[in-house]
Amino acid sequence: MIQIHDKHFVPFISAEDIDAVLTKMALKAEEDHKGEIPVFIGVLNGSFMVVSDFVKKYTQPCEVSFVKLSSYEGTTSTNQVKQLIGLNQSLEGRSVVVIEDIVDTGNTVAELKKIFEGHNVKQLKIATLFFKPEAYKQDIALDYVGFEIPNKFIVGYGLDYDELGRNLPEVYQVQQ
């Protein structure tokens, strides 16, 4: 068991299991992108480890890039607009695969989809290492899902609890 800030966490998914699932995801992505060069776009901060390990298992030519989603407040605090930071290439006509660490309510995925559709991409696919189906509120299909997990908080492998825990090589689940 480990402690981060005020919470205790128990081991949940090992580094070996993550590795195995990323191999499967990369293979599936390879089959889906035969004869083209996809652009893999990681969403920072959480996805840095997923992207790093995923692309090492992708054996065909690909591009790799990262973006950050920032929310700045509009005229009222409820009027939040998400903005994409760091995209410095044209995605027109490209097959884009957005790589997320975790999809929870799906709000982030919905924002990303809206933004990338504005870039005239050829095709947009969503990859996520973790997916919480019980929390998901969107009807956007997820193309590559590593693990479907219960609606409990997890840390490690890029995921943080109040900025700590990202460096853990395996994943821990909050103890309740």
Instruction: List, by residue number, the catalytic residues.
Output: 104
Q: Which residue is nearest to Mg ion (CB)?
A: 160
Among 41, 112, 129, 159, binds ligand IMP (CB under 6 A): 159
Nearer to ligand IMP among residue 38 and residue 46 (C-beta)? 46
Among 25, 26, 94, 108, binds ligand IMP (CB under 6 A): 108
Token pair for 15: 């580094």
Burial class (CB in 10 A: 0-12, 13-18, 19+), 5: exposed
DSSP state of 163: T
Burial class (CB in 10 A: 0-12, 13-18, 19+), 160: middle
Stretch binding ligand IMP (CB under 6 A), from 14-22, 71-79, 139-147, 151-159: 151-159
Nearer to Mg ion among residue 113 and residue 166 (C-beta)? 166
103 binds ligand IMP (CB under 6 A): yes
Among 14, 71, 90, 107, binds ligand IMP (CB under 6 A): 107
Which residue has tokens 């030519």? 61
CB atoms within 10 A of CB 61: 9
Shortest spacing between CB 92 and ligand IMP, in angstroms:
26
Contact between 100 and 129 under an 8 Å Cβ cutoff? The reply is yes
Contact between 143 and 125 under an 8 Å Cβ cutoff? The reply is yes
Among 160, 166, 170, 174, binds Mg ion (CB under 5 A): 160
